[in-house]
């Protein structure tokens, strides 16, 4: 751990705490709205969808804040405190306070999404060889929170009630704020440095704009197949899969945690493989890694196409088919989710980094909306055809990756020294 720059581990710990609160809320929100507030299932799921979308739209506002006088560190600090207040309001009985709390959490999450990526990119300016490894670690810690927070949150709710669960989420945001304060001077010093990796400075404006727009389009496109893990794949697990494992039936909600667990499981092997990834001189290594993530996302649905054909007579298929799908989706998530925002930061003009990262997350929000619409076709088309559609949709992103590489190479001045975006 000593190889990482000062401030990085504290930043990572603060992210883990912030994600703990978010995933705790996401796992309990529908139950809270239906059981405590008396909402219908349709109302609760609609509120959940709006809340998740808002957390990905709010970075557009947070991006303007970080690009302005507020700065990245102050924006993160403010975001953590706003979210902490939002979680505290969720313990109230009345719907207005609950909805106000959800709004505050989504606004706080906007700054919490932007700041870590931006600060991590700056921290690794002097150690580019560790950049991708560090961002992957940052992403893994977030997935650890995604794995454990639903279990801890449900335990707190069962033993002590709803207020205790949301109080725990609020305290996790206070912890994130306190951890960030321990290294605030180091992070502000890094933020003020001008020697930040900035590949866009090597290219013309038109080429940079095209590349950034392509990255945002890729984010929206790949969100659709990735988000099926929390919707249609759960339905597939419930209705079409023999979920018996080690003599016990695996509860359907555990499939969602299984995905986070597989992200953690495949990361060491993936890191070892990518360490030996070679590209031609002058080509961006980061783009090659994202292309691998796109391919893995598309190929993830091939096992389920086969499983759907085998189970077309109504019989249940083995759990291994779903494991294979989620394992490949985990590879795609690690490469795209961890490296995509970093590449946006390094390609965007220095004065608009926050806005462009906000645009990346805004495109992801559109992907969430599109994923929900496409998921509505689940009961209308054969499952094998649905999975083929997901595979084709994901693999079409390879064309965007090819365009990214072409735009990046052609936008470089002829006299520049060949280098790689890592």
Comparison of pLDDT for 292 and 205, the residue scoring more: 292
Return the pLDDT at 306. 96
Q: Quick check: 296 and 335 in contact, CB under 8 A? A: yes
Instruction: Look at 393 and 247; give whichever has higher pLDDT.
Output: 393
Q: Mean of the pLDDT values across residues 206-230?
A: 81
Q: State pLDDT tens for residues 352-369.
A: 777 787 788 888 888 877
DSSP-derived secondary structure letter, 416: S
Residue 381 has pLDDT above 50, yes or no: yes
C-alpha distance across the termini of the chain, in Å: 20
pLDDT at 195: 44
pLDDT at res. 44? 77
pLDDT tens string 261-276: 777 788 777 777 766 6
- pLDDT for the residue 417: 42
| Res. 414 pLDDT band, cuts 50 70 90 | very low
> What is the average pLDDT across 109-134?
73
d(CA 375, CA 128): 40
pLDDT higher than threshold 90 for residue 288: no
Give the CA distances from residue 206 to residues 66, 210, 211, 235, 410, in Å, rounded to whole numbers and listed in that order. 24, 6, 9, 44, 11
Whether residue 322 contacts residue 255, with contact meaning beta carbons closer than 8 Å, is answered with yes
Q: Which CATH architecture does the domain made up of 8-192 adopt?
A: Up-down Bundle (1.20)
**Structure confidence at residue 194 as a pLDDT band (50, 70, 90):** very low
Residue 337: CA atoms inside 13 Å, Cβ hemisphere, count? 20
3-class DSSP assignment, residue 248: strand
Does the pLDDT value for residue 104 go beyond 50? yes
Beta strands in 154-272 (DSSP E): 244-245, 248-249
**Average pLDDT, integer, range 389-411:** 77
Which helix H or strand E contains 349, and what residues bound it? Answer: none
pLDDT-derived band at 1 (thresholds 50, 70, 90) equals: low
Cα 373 from chain centre: 20
pLDDT at 135 over 70: yes
How far is 41 from 173, CA to CA, in rounded Å? 29
Q: pLDDT value at position 198? A: 47
Using pLDDT thresholds of 50, 70 and 90, give the confidence band for residue 204. Answer: very low
pLDDT score of 404: 67
Please tell me which residue, 415 or 112, carries the higher pLDDT value.
112
Average pLDDT over residues 228-255: 79
Q: What is the mean pLDDT of residues 2-29?
A: 84
Q: Is the pLDDT of residue 314 over 70?
A: yes
Chain-wide mean pLDDT for the chain?
Answer: 79
Instruction: Using pLDDT thresholds of 50, 70 and 90, give the confidence band for residue 68.
Output: low
User: pLDDT for 149-173, tens place per residue?
Assistant: 888 888 888 899 899 999 999 999 9
Determine the pLDDT at residue 418: 42
Which CATH number is 199-410 given?
A: 1.20.1250.20
For the chain, helix (H) and strand (E) counts, in that order, are: 17, 2
pLDDT above 90 covers a percentage of the chain that reads 20
Domain ranges of the chain: 8-192, 199-410
- Whether pLDDT at 231 is above 60: yes
For a pLDDT cut of 70, what percent of the chain falls above it? 81
Q: ∠108-182-263 over CA atoms, to 5°?
A: 60
What backbone torsions phi and psi does residue 318 show, to the nearest 5 degrees?
A: -70, 155
Beta bridge partner(s), residue 245: 248
| pLDDT greater than 90 at residue 17 | yes
By the 10 Å C-beta count (0-12 exposed, 13-18 middle, 19+ buried), 414 is classed as exposed
Distance CA 72, CA 59 (A): 12
Between 313 and 309, residue with greater pLDDT: 309
In this prediction, residue 69 carries a pLDDT of 65
pLDDT score of 416 more than 60: no
What's the mean pLDDT in 60-82?
75
User: What does the pLDDT read at residue 411?
Assistant: 52
Query: pTM (2 decimals)?
Result: 0.72
Give the best-scoring range by mean pLDDT among 119-123, 175-179, 340-344. Answer: 175-179
What pLDDT, on the 0 to 100 scale, is given for residue 62? 66
Q: Which of 16-25, 52-61, 85-94, 282-291 has the lowest mean pLDDT?
A: 282-291
In terms of Cα–Cα distance, which of 46, 6, 18, 24 is closest to 91? 24
């Amino acid at each position: 751990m000593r190889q990482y720059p000062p401030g990085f581990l504290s930043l990572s710990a603060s992210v883990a705490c912030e994600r703990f609160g978010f995933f705790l809320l996401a796992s309990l929100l529908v139950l809270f709205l239906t059981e405590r507030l008396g909402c219908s299932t349709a109302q609760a799921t609609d509120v959940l969808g709006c809340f998740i979308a808002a957390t990905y739209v709010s970075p557009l506002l947070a991006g303007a804040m970080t690009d302005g006088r507020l700065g990245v560190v102050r924006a993160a600090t403010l975001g953590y405190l706003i979210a902490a207040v939002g979680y505290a309001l969720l313990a109230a009985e009345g719907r207005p306070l609950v909805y106000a709390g959800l709004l505050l959490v989504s606004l706080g999450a906007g700054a919490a999404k932007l700041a870590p990526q931006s600060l991590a990119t700056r921290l690794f300016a002097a150690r580019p060889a560790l950049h991708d490894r560090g961002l992957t670690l940052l992403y893994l810690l977030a997935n650890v929170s995604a794995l454990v927070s639903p279990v801890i949150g449900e335990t707190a709710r069962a033993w002590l009630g709803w207020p205790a669960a949301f109080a725990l989420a609020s305290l996790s945001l206070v912890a994130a704020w306190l951890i960030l304060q321990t290294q605030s001077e180091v992070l502000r010093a890094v933020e003020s440095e001008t020697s930040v990796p900035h590949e866009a400075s090597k290219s013309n404006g038109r080429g940079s704009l095209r590349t950034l727009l392509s990255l945002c389009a890729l984010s929206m496109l790949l969100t659709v197949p990735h988000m099926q893990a929390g919707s249609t794949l759960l339905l597939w697990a419930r209705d079409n899969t023999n979920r018996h494992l080690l003599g016990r039936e695996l509860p359907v909600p555990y499939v969602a945690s299984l995905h986070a667990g597989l992200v953690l499981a495949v990361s060491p092997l993936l890191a070892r493989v990518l360490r030996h990834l070679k590209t031609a001189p002058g080509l961006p290594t980061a783009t090659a890694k994202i292309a691998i993530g796109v391919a893995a996302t598309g190929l993830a649905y091939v096992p389920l196409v086969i499983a759907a054909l085998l189970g077309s007579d109504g019989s249940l298929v083995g759990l291994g088919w779903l494991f294979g799908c989620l394992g490949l989706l985990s590879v795609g998530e690690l490469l795209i989710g961890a490296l995509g925002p970093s590449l946006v930061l390094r390609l965007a003009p220095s004065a608009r980094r926050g806005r462009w990262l906000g645009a990346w997350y805004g495109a992801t929000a559109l992907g969430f909306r599109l994923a929900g619409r496409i998921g509505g076709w689940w009961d209308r088309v054969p499952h094998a055809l649905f999975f083929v559609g997901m595979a084709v949709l994901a693999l079409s992103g390879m064309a965007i990756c090819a365009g990214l590489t072409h735009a990046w190479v052609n936008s470089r001045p002829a006299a520049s020294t060949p280098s790689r975006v890592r």
